[in-house]
Structure 1
Amino acid sequence: MADSKTALAGDRLLAYATLAPSAFLLLLLAGAPTITVFFTSMQDVGMGDTSGPFVGLENFAWALTEPTFLTALWNTFVWVFGSVALEMLLGLGLALLLNKSFQFRGAARAVILAPYLVPTVVAVLTWRYMLHDIVGIINATLTGIGLISQPLLWLNSQSLAMVSVIMVGVWKFFPFAVIAILGILQSIPQEQYEAAKIDGASSFQQFWRITLPYVMPVFLLTTLLRTIWSFNKFEIIYLMTGGGPLDATTTLPVLVYLKAFSDFEFGRAAAIAIITLAILCVLLAIYFFFIKRAEARQ
Structure 2
Amino acid sequence: MLAKRFAEILVLLSIVTSLSTKTLSQNTQDCRTKKDIPLISGHWKDDQTGKEVDITYRPNNTVVATYSETHNCPNPDEKGKPVPSPIDFEGTAVQRRIEGTIHVCRWRTDNKHPTAYTYATGEVDVKLWMTEDGMGLRGYWNNPDTHKDEDVSFTRLDKPYYPASKFDIVEAGANAKIYEQPSTESKVSSTPEPGTRLMIYATETDEKGNATWYLVTDLRYSLGRENYGWIRLGQVKCKSSNKTISQGQQLSPAGSTTLVRNFSGRLIVCCENIDAQQCAK
TM range (shorter): under 0.3
Between 1 and 2, higher relative CO (CA 8 Å, sep ≥ 6) is seen in: 1
Larger Rg over CA atoms: 2
In the superposition, the TM-score normalised over structure 1's length comes to 0.20
The structure whose residues are more often helix, as a share, is 1
Q: Compare the two structures and name the one with the higher strand fraction.
A: 2
